[in-house]
């Protein structure tokens, strides 16, 4: 069996180019992700925004029934 040195070097060069391009694309996608991600995901909404969820105490009894809450949900079109 004859092993060609040129073919081996061409294969190694293509693997290195593939790894370098994969690394470059990975980091470019990371930069793009940082660019489109909001700075503070949990900031207080401003303007006409309505808070859709209010954390309740586990010990407090809620006065509204599940049906009323569902009607409220559909009324505001959430």
- 29 pLDDT exceeds 80? yes
The pLDDT score that the predictor gives to residue 51 is 63
The pLDDT score that the predictor gives to residue 48 is 78
* pLDDT mean over 10-27: 97
| Total count of domains within the chain | 1
* pLDDT mean over 17-38: 91
Q: Can you give 16-69 as a three-state secondary structure string?
A: HHHHHHHHHHHHHHHHHHHHHCCCCCCCCCCCCCCCCCCCCCCCCCCCCCHHHH
Rounded to an integer, what distance in angstroms lies between the CA atom of residue 25 and that of residue 18? 11
Q: What percent of the chain has pLDDT over 90?
A: 33
Give residue-wise pLDDT tens across range 60-71: 555 678 888 888
DSSP state of 77: T
Residue 30's domain comprises 5-75
| pTM for this predicted structure | 0.46
Query: Contact 55/29 with Cβ under 8 angstroms?
Result: no
């Amino acid at each position: 069996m004859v092993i060609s040195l040129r073919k081996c070097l061409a294969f190694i060069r293509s693997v290195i180019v593939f790894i370098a391009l994969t690394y470059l694309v990975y980091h470019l996608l990371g930069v793009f992700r940082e660019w489109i991600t909001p700075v503070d995901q949990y900031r207080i909404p401003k303007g006409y925004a309505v808070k859709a969820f209010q954390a309740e105490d586990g010990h407090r009894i809620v006065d509204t029934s599940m049906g009323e809450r569902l009607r409220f949900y559909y009324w505001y079109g959430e």
